[in-house]
A and B are shown apart, each in its own frame.
Chain A
Amino acid sequence: MNVEVRNEARSRGAAKAISISDVNLYYGQQHVLKDINLEIKPGEFFAFLGPSGCGKTTLLRLIAGFNQARQGKVVIGGDDVLDMPPWKREIGMVFQSYALWPHMTVAHNVAFGLEERRLRKAEVERRVNAALDLVGLKHLAERRPAQLSGGQQQRVALARTIAIEPKVLLLDEPLSNLDAKMRVEVRRELRDLQQRLQLTTIFVTHDQEEANTVCDRIAVFNEGRIQQVGTPMGLYERPANLFVANFLGTANLLEGKIRGEGNARSFEVAGAGSIPIPAGVDVPESAKLVLRPQYATIGLDAADSVSLPGRIVHREFLGATVRYGVQVGGAMVLIDAPFHSGDSLLEPGGSTTVGFKPKSALWLAN
């Protein structure tokens, strides 16, 4: 099978790059996509991440040809595709609902795209078998979609798309119709398959964990705009703005005022205290302090940390960690304290201190 797959990958030729420039899209008066610019490398597994209504699916459908942009360019493997109808684009898309045709068997569903390309019967059969083999569903070829489980339907949809050997693969929330356990399993399979086929892939999701675990790079969307593009770790460590910081992982936000000049700057949080701003850190106007829960300590004082007084409001025991909610000035700060066997827990209601190293904090504007 692996030999077969490698041959498949070779027969596809080199993976294609996607280049999107200055794309704007309107629904009537509503500006849905705003100045989208994006470069996706050949063979990359790329995610569009964002809350619902942020424009990520709209952009995906635009690439597939189901939405018309008023301006801009989408170049795939050197060809501008925006003026092509969907059926000429050679772009494979797996729909959120899978869109398997209920009146056809699994094999007929997979064969459809090949038949539309007027391939010889034997060739169609060979490629249907290869595609079903690839997703491990050869034994279900004669079933109808309604007789398959959600996970199997998803794989049929994938096989149907891969069979036509598309230039790029688009996945529209492919895991959203699966239960939690299947999701973890299927996303690993997706990653595996993508690596083997070396197919440039765009994966749309609203779930940051999915995007982080599967994709090479992520574009974070909000309100029709790309907020930031980067690797999962890069986005987590160096979010460009508050939206990205909040959307990828949990972030504590503290409001305050900047005092002082040059190397003696500090960030003063009303009713809590003052945090020295490390030298060389860029702090925008009206910025907020961003702190990940695991970078803060509770009730400990270290030499290089600042320490703010607070009151424990609630406590959640999560197993590996204990999450405390501490009222600091006007803000609620979440702190993840690692839990070790034999540790005693702090009680809500008591006073404590919140400590963190100033260099683990970020200052971000809205």
Chain B
Amino acid sequence: MTTYILKRILMLFPLMLGITLITFTVIHLAPGEPVEMQMAMNPKVGKDARERMRKFYGLDKPLHEQYVTWVGRLVRLDLGTSFSPDNRPVLDKIRERLPVTLSLNLIALLLEFGLAVPIGILAATHRDTWLDKSITVFVFIGFAVPTFWLALLLMYFFGVKLNWLPISGLHTLGSDGYGTFRYLWDLAKHLIMPIMVASFGSLAGLSRYMRSTMLNVIGQDYITTARAKGLSERTVIYKHALRNALLPLITLLGFSIPGLIGGSVIFETIFAIPGMGQLFYQGAMSRDYPVVMGILVIGAFLTLVGNLVADVCYALADPRIRQGG
């Protein structure tokens, strides 16, 4: 078990190197130079200023040297400063946005798992009944519905028609003056629609997955044994089958990490939520390379580590692997 974990940790290093290589390549697919883009937006900047910029970002050096300096700074957690007029360090920007996106998505994720597990179990235990079939239809619609369209429809009904919920941002203007309770209530109202949109699509996939693992487990011999020795169906399903059916969810949790960070572009843009998705989108649109590179690398690193943690948890939770490895 320890050897397994150690091996996996050692494996992180080449993978991280690969991540930086791909990020670097992606950015350098660009025609022209980032500095030119920045200058184009501000015609007052003269030629020598442009040269200084080039020097500052190391753009006058050959590619491999640029890569090495970039990785060198990355190791020291220096992601550079943004090209945008505020000129702030990228790491600060990310630090400010990451909690918004992460907490929003974590709530959505909890909601997804909390709903998907019972839905999946229901579908599996009522296989081929009308219940299972209507869940399946719901699940397929969830797969196919474009999130931004869902967001638009919700905005139309709850925001415009019924005027129940605010349609953008996280706070009402002037909410700083509210009392604690009213402030939180205001925040919660702003979060309802984004969270609904964020969780709906994945809910479909998760509950489908839960259904199939549950069916798989129910078909195994030990379940037949449990039934044969006269245990109630309740005990068989919730005590014997469920424990094994829940295991693969750990891996799935690992897989959902890139979505935690990257899946938010659409709804953050639509609902004007100041999170990572919005930051990345704005960065990409204005060719703010330090921001784009920083978020790509950080997002991929977090995923890598998350996957590792998920795999280790899986191994710890499953005695068949724990004792075998």
Are A and B interaction partners?
no
Give residues in A with beta carbon < 8 Å to B: none
